[in-house]
Structure 1
């Protein structure tokens, strides 16, 4: 990638960059520069092969260098730039690794009068307790975050090369402006270091310090590990980022004051809520880290077997989302049971916490929402991160369009690639202002238009419950009567739940009607089991001889039962037992036993009622005698993946005659399913569907990229194994 790489400051970070660059052949010649007092460290770096040569003269060090990397403490950046100024070359790329970027840019402006377009500030979020070149390690940056903070004048090609360089070192690269970087790092790195130093300083000065440290447990060791970092370096960092750190210390002092008062007042419930929120927030952090750093999860399924037993699958995801949204907007306290504790629903929960709603739990599926009323949401302090949840992003787009504040909706890589114009375009006709990328994808920048939205009469071109719900939520804040007409029935959880919260919603044929004339009153919600999750077991028991499964307390809303209707048309033996109504939603136990299936032409009127279940229905079709034809399902191509193409590709690998069409698939089933390795493309429903296929396979099936199963059904692996599928999950 480079002929000559010059590293200024060959310590832990600089030395690790050199070692990793050499490991991956990123530079032909790697040299170091330092001062007289660095001589021994530089000699060690050369003797151990970390660098090829070192210099104490800056001109010799940077001559003919393609890349000059500043790996010195941030306090010395200004002096280094002054040394470099007379030898600055327009043909060389310059970058740094400082943990504060505002001070680095300020130093460049002080030296040059501007920030040169070939200087690209960067910050690898990696390190260690030791310092010096002997602490340098190969692959220090593998799967670690690296933030680049270019300026408006940064050369595009130079930026690309620095991004490629860090990706080649193994980093996950993000790009943001320097001010944003410094705010984030002040909260996530600088403040924790200050806390660790302060705690050890406080305890270390106590008379009984010998006993305190003698009996300190592992938690103390883990928490204070970062206090082993260089005091000199962290003094420099804190001084450089003081404007961002001081407000955070003040906020922390206020938070500690609240906890002090809770303890003083014996407010156990408040203390529990605070600790519960922190517990859930940390778990979300860990989940995001796993997703961001692309930890690979693979399912290995042994062929054959049957499903047998009784189980209850987790709560309905659609209703879990909506219970949080409407409960937050209600007057009073809403109690939710059966809440789905998966990443998608938790993303919605966190978004409303970020907008000022007090939410307790979830604990064993129980959530308590202290509603703030229809107009009580507050502006979030930062972006609302929605992970992989398209439901969260599309419904919140409508809800937030009519608020008195601006906000930004972001998501993971998968969500950021999904189309959002299907909601932003009709919202724009209501007067909403939402900016997307050029491709019509997230992030969504929403300008609040409180009191300015106008009702519309909208006929959806494609049946979509998310679009319908988005516009109904926007209609709660629009002047006039909003009418949404669907070309085919879609799930009506939003309308049912609004009615449950006493908000007036009318229905005229295929049109749902709402206005701003209404308010929501808190209620208790019992979320039934998700029929989309139950579908994997319905299909599994239907295709595996000897299977007999009962699924308890499943929601059988008539707008969601397409999967049952389709399987019955194929010959499945599914009984609906103990039908009842819970909170306005129909619920029943489903009993399914094995029965030979036959291919059918799937009625188009059932397609919107089973849109999420088609991946596993394709597996049923592969096991059915004869041909199964699906059409009118083009919606499947814009889900978490192109579910038509991805399922067709995987089925072909397993020896199934599956022919994708623009709006569906033709499957000639009845032949044995073979083994093989298939890709889920990060789509949870694809991963689970191919796992179920293992029940009829004659050889092992390996399913790659299954981490996102946690977004909707984290219990899947355990439940399906308990019922009889031979599934093993591995992480890489």
Structure 2
């Protein structure tokens, strides 16, 4: 490959030498020229073969350079200015210049001052790689493989110049990201420069401690690992500290403040708060590790880097076994929320460790709640009371979880601080006015993007007033949001439902000792009460169980039992609808656990028939319809769904997504404004699009049981948001499923 012309590397230390070696290994450019102050370094670089030519001053090769060539400045941060002055004096303006300094603001300012403007072909950058070794002898052609290079383009930059710099780094195996200059310096001050300050200071402190002569001799692995970075180039790091002085000082001050606070907690033997610090740190580090795998530094980049997950499902098979699906997602969300707002400790069993519920858990950690776990479904929440939440340091990111965003908005409406709720690309397209508008009626100031889309900025501190709200559309999330806001509102908050919706919030409020009134389809709360910590045993999620219930119902010879499933009367629509279609379904071992009814659900195959789905069952099965429409496709005759317009504003337009997928698999169907008509028939093989919707993905996975050919389901990464072990359980009960990641 010879995609680049000439590359000149000024400074043949580890960073510059490794770039040269990597470009040579990749055959990525026509000629590599090294520039080093010492003739010995030039000769060593030539001997090692990392450069094709080596000189001691850039002016010696300036006449050889022209359009498309790249000069990379690889010298200590405070030396960059002198090199830029040399380049201005001799390098043509159509040559691209880039750098590798750890601080971008100082380089930007030097370039502006030297040139009198910012040149279009000067592209600032920073490779995130290194080692304790230095000098051209340490050159490593693989140093940048799977490491990150941050490019910080200026508005004046030529797009072709930025593209060329990207291509250079990608040629040596690096992942190239973009950030703003000032954002880069703030982030690196905290994540790179501060750790070096601490490591240098710690080693220096202990090295001069006359009472601890054996510290280094007997140091444990953790000490050695952490202080390894204190072996880095001292002069280079001195320059970085001075060049990024303001951001480094801010990071040191913040760290010093938090360290002093931790010292005070240890002195007071405050076990709960110490646990909080350590737990928050542990899970923040775990999230950071996941980010290192395939996430960007800057959040706008994250969603472009999600892995493409494809399910390929072989046709046929039978469903057999006895399994327990994960805990109910709706109850998992609410257990964290109410446990955090309670006084005292709440112990939770059966918590769903999916991304949605974990987003809720993290949001409350970010607001100062001490939460232990989750550990195999066990969580302990140290409640702070209704008014004990703390202002988060930044936006509360809830990923793909609409439940988190809508219910949290009700809680945040009653706080004294301003907060912001953000989500991923999918959630950012979903309207939030269904909760924002009634909250505004209660006196909350809420800012959203156009058409009520996230992010939501909730300005706390307002005096909330209770309202009487008649919901235009049945929605448990809207009802729950307003009831939670009602805990903080003057007077009574009343919600009238047009049809019954899941009542987990009301049941759990009562379980925490808070009075909730219900008369018919009207539910209300008054402020002034308190929540008291309790024990919660979360039943298995009927929405997750639905995929296996439908799988057994459509597949001859199948017989499956799903244990400890929640059969809340407001969630049992899927059971009623399957029975109306002729499914052989029974509830066994019915009992009540923690205020929620549960049972073991057994489904044996029986032929299904199409039906007109009763509209009074629609709100009771709103999340289960993607799977139920697979049952309709396998039933004899026509199935008609109406009154389900809410499906169009879920993670995706589920009505249209299911219609498109069923059509692609040979099923006759017609979408309507509030539902769909499905004519049962023979499913074929084919490729369907999940639209990044976990329920769509899992529904078409089970469809393969009755298909004539393999089914490929695209974009299935979000399955983990609600059902982390779906793939394992699917394989266990008889579905032939392969997962491919790109």
Provide the C-alpha distance between the structure 1 equivalents of 2:690 and 2:168, rounded to a whole number of angstroms.
28
Provide the C-alpha distance between the structure 1 equivalents of 2:117 and 2:380, rounded to a whole number of angstroms.
53
Q: Within 5 Å, give how 1:647-666 maps onto structure 2.
A: 647-666=658-677
Indicate if the aligned counterparts of 2:144 and 2:174 stay in contact, CA closer than 8 A. Answer: no
Indicate if the aligned counterparts of 2:420 and 2:456 stay in contact, CA closer than 8 A. Answer: yes
Q: Within 5 Å, give how 1:138-157 maps onto structure 2.
A: 140=144
Q: Within 5 Å, give how 1:617-636 maps onto structure 2.
A: 617-636=628-647
SS state at 2:624 partner: helix
Q: Within 5 Å, give how 1:58-77 maps onto structure 2.
A: 60=63, 64=67, 70-77=73-80
- 2:585 pairs with 1:574: yes
Q: Deviations over 1:94-115 (max 9, x none)?
A: 6654433343444446546776
Q: Deviations over 1:621-658 (max 9, x none)?
A: 22222232334434334333343344344444444444
Indicate if the aligned counterparts of 1:273 and 1:361 stay in contact, CA closer than 8 A. Answer: no
RMSD: 4.4
**Selected match of 2:194 from 191, 197, 206:** 191
Provide the C-alpha distance between the structure 2 equivalents of 1:60 and 1:669, rounded to a whole number of angstroms.
75
Q: Within 5 Å, give how 1:570-609 maps onto structure 2.
A: 570-609=581-620
Provide the C-alpha distance between the structure 1 equivalents of 2:599 and 2:242, rounded to a whole number of angstroms.
63
Provide the C-alpha distance between the structure 1 equivalents of 2:32 and 2:451, rounded to a whole number of angstroms.
43
**Selected match of 1:682 from 692, 704, 707:** 692
Deviation at 1:500, TM superposition (A): 2.6
Provide the C-alpha distance between the structure 1 equivalents of 2:605 and 2:318, rounded to a whole number of angstroms.
9
Q: Which residue of 1 aligns with 2:242?
A: 239
* Structure 2 residues without counterparts, runs of 5 or longer: 296-304
Provide the C-alpha distance between the structure 1 equivalents of 2:530 and 2:403, rounded to a whole number of angstroms.
23
* Structure 1 residues without counterparts, runs of 5 or longer: none
**Selected match of 2:715 from 701, 705, 710:** 705
Q: Which residue of 1 aligns with 2:58?
A: 56
Deviation at 1:275, TM superposition (A): 4.8
- 2:374 pairs with 1:362: yes
Comparing 168-177 with 375-384, which one deviates more in the overlay? 168-177
Deviation at 1:273, TM superposition (A): 6.0
Comparing 418-427 with 8-17, which one deviates more in the overlay? 8-17
Indicate if the aligned counterparts of 1:4 and 1:64 stay in contact, CA closer than 8 A. Answer: no
Indicate if the aligned counterparts of 2:42 and 2:54 stay in contact, CA closer than 8 A. Answer: no
The alignment's TM-score, normalised by the length of structure 1, stands at: 0.83
Provide the C-alpha distance between the structure 2 equivalents of 1:42 and 1:417, rounded to a whole number of angstroms.
58
1:147–1:578 distance in 2 versus 1, CA, 3 Å: same
Q: Which residue of 2 aligns with 1:372?
A: 384
Q: Which residue of 2 aligns with 1:387?
A: 399
1:682–1:198 distance in 2 versus 1, CA, 3 Å: farther
The alignment's TM-score, normalised by the length of structure 2, stands at: 0.82
Indicate if the aligned counterparts of 2:565 and 2:599 stay in contact, CA closer than 8 A. Answer: yes
Q: Which residue of 1 aligns with 2:300?
A: none
Q: Which residue of 1 aligns with 2:298?
A: none
Provide the C-alpha distance between the structure 2 equivalents of 1:71 and 1:128, rounded to a whole number of angstroms.
15
Comparing 645-654 with 127-136, which one deviates more in the overlay? 127-136
- 2:413 pairs with 1:411: no
- 2:550 pairs with 1:539: yes
Q: Deviations over 1:263-303 (max 9, x none)?
A: 89998887766555444333333444556343344434333
Provide the C-alpha distance between the structure 1 equivalents of 2:656 and 2:90, rounded to a whole number of angstroms.
55
Q: Which residue of 1 aligns with 2:286?
A: 283
- 2:457 pairs with 1:445: yes
Deviation at 1:309, TM superposition (A): 2.4
Indicate if the aligned counterparts of 1:120 and 1:154 stay in contact, CA closer than 8 A. Answer: no
SS state at 1:310 partner: strand
SS state at 1:472 partner: helix
Deviation at 1:248, TM superposition (A): 4.5
Q: Which residue of 1 aligns with 2:726?
A: 716
Q: Which residue of 2 aligns with 1:521?
A: 532
Deviation at 1:489, TM superposition (A): 2.7
Provide the C-alpha distance between the structure 1 equivalents of 2:647 and 2:553, rounded to a whole number of angstroms.
23
Q: Deviations over 1:521-549 (max 9, x none)?
A: 22222221111111111111212222222
Deviation at 1:582, TM superposition (A): 2.7
Comparing 125-134 with 331-340, which one deviates more in the overlay? 125-134
Comparing 315-324 with 632-641, which one deviates more in the overlay? 632-641
Comparing 695-704 with 525-534, which one deviates more in the overlay? 695-704
**Selected match of 2:566 from 555, 559, 562:** 555
Q: Within 5 Å, give how 1:195-344 maps onto structure 2.
A: 212=218, 229-246=232-249, 248-249=251-252, 275-290=278-293, 292=295, 293-344=305-356
Number of matched pairs: 724
SS state at 1:283 partner: helix
SS state at 1:491 partner: coil
Provide the C-alpha distance between the structure 2 equivalents of 1:120 and 1:480, rounded to a whole number of angstroms.
60
Provide the C-alpha distance between the structure 1 equivalents of 2:388 and 2:560, rounded to a whole number of angstroms.
46
Provide the C-alpha distance between the structure 1 equivalents of 2:590 and 2:183, rounded to a whole number of angstroms.
54
Indicate if the aligned counterparts of 2:22 and 2:140 stay in contact, CA closer than 8 A. Answer: no
Comparing 156-165 with 394-403, which one deviates more in the overlay? 156-165
Indicate if the aligned counterparts of 1:634 and 1:664 stay in contact, CA closer than 8 A. Answer: yes
Deviation at 1:360, TM superposition (A): 1.8
Deviation at 1:368, TM superposition (A): 1.8
Indicate if the aligned counterparts of 1:556 and 1:586 stay in contact, CA closer than 8 A. Answer: yes
Provide the C-alpha distance between the structure 1 equivalents of 2:165 and 2:510, rounded to a whole number of angstroms.
51
Comparing 60-69 with 522-531, which one deviates more in the overlay? 60-69
Q: Which residue of 2 aligns with 1:696?
A: 706
- 2:350 pairs with 1:348: no
SS state at 1:332 partner: strand
Comparing 270-279 with 565-574, which one deviates more in the overlay? 270-279
SS state at 1:703 partner: strand
**Selected match of 1:100 from 100, 103, 112:** 103
Provide the C-alpha distance between the structure 1 equivalents of 2:416 and 2:285, rounded to a whole number of angstroms.
30
Q: Deviations over 1:172-215 (max 9, x none)?
A: 776655444333333333334455566777889986689658xx
Q: Deviations over 1:564-599 (max 9, x none)?
A: 122122111221223333333222221221121122
Deviation at 1:355, TM superposition (A): 0.9
Provide the C-alpha distance between the structure 2 equivalents of 1:478 and 1:301, rounded to a whole number of angstroms.
51
Indicate if the aligned counterparts of 2:436 and 2:446 stay in contact, CA closer than 8 A. Answer: yes
Deviation at 1:378, TM superposition (A): 0.8
Deviation at 1:482, TM superposition (A): 3.5
Comparing 466-475 with 282-291, which one deviates more in the overlay? 282-291
Comparing 564-573 with 169-178, which one deviates more in the overlay? 169-178
Deviation at 1:377, TM superposition (A): 0.9
Provide the C-alpha distance between the structure 2 equivalents of 1:678 and 1:191, rounded to a whole number of angstroms.
48
Q: Which residue of 1 aligns with 2:299?
A: none
Q: Deviations over 1:210-268 (max 9, x none)?
A: 9658xx76x77765665665444333333333443445456656767787898899988
Provide the C-alpha distance between the structure 1 equivalents of 2:447 and 2:719, rounded to a whole number of angstroms.
30
Q: Deviations over 1:306-352 (max 9, x none)?
A: 22222222111111111111211122222222211222111111111
Provide the C-alpha distance between the structure 2 equivalents of 1:261 and 1:439, rounded to a whole number of angstroms.
47
Q: Which residue of 2 aligns with 1:668?
A: 679
- 2:473 pairs with 1:462: yes
1:384–1:698 distance in 2 versus 1, CA, 3 Å: same
SS state at 1:371 partner: strand
Deviation at 1:449, TM superposition (A): 2.6
Indicate if the aligned counterparts of 2:25 and 2:141 stay in contact, CA closer than 8 A. Answer: no
SS state at 2:372 partner: strand
Q: Quick check: which has more Rg, 1 or 2?
A: 2
Indicate if the aligned counterparts of 1:16 and 1:136 stay in contact, CA closer than 8 A. Answer: yes
- 2:507 pairs with 1:496: yes
Deviation at 1:168, TM superposition (A): 7.3
